[in-house]
């Protein structure tokens, strides 16, 4: 059991460090010609996990499949047995389900 927690903590620490380093960087000016996609592409080696997330959210889906999957997930999550879940919890669970592949902390 101790080895499980040790493995988990060794994976989480670098991700926390990456997030902290990103938040410590000075804010970039909000210019009309500023290109966030270019910034993330330039800094992908410095922030590999955040880069993956940024590429996902900065891209425009070419189909309606992601939104259809979201409705399907909601249907599976909100069942008669789970009627007491509030909207915040539902949103958090759906976010985690849809994004678990981008932050690989358990493997």
3-state per-residue secondary structure call for 4-43: HHHHHHHHHHHHHHHHHHHHHCCCCCCCCCCCHHHHHHHC
Domain residue ranges in the chain: 1-59, 62-107
Q: What is the pLDDT of residue 51?
A: 92
Does residue 107 surpass a pLDDT of 60?
Answer: no
Confidence of residue 62 (pLDDT cuts 50, 70, 90): confident
Judged against a pLDDT cut of 80, whether residue 105 lies above it is answered with: no
**pLDDT 10s digits, 5-61:** 455 455 667 788 888 888 888 676 676 677 888 888 988 999 999 999 888 888 876
């Amino acid at each position: 059991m101790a080895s499980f927690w040790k493995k988990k903590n060794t994976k989480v620490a670098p991700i926390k460090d990456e997030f902290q380093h990103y938040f410590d960087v000075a804010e970039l000016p909000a210019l009309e010609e500023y290109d966030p996609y270019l910034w993330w592409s330039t800094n992908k080696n410095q922030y590999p996990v955040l880069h993956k997330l940024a590429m996902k959210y900065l891209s425009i889906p070419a189909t309606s499949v992601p939104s259809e999957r979201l409705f399907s997930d909601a249907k599976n999550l909100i069942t008669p047995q789970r009627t007491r879940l509030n909207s915040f919890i539902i949103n958090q669970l759906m976010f985690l389900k849809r994004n678990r592949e981008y932050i690989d902390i358990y493997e």
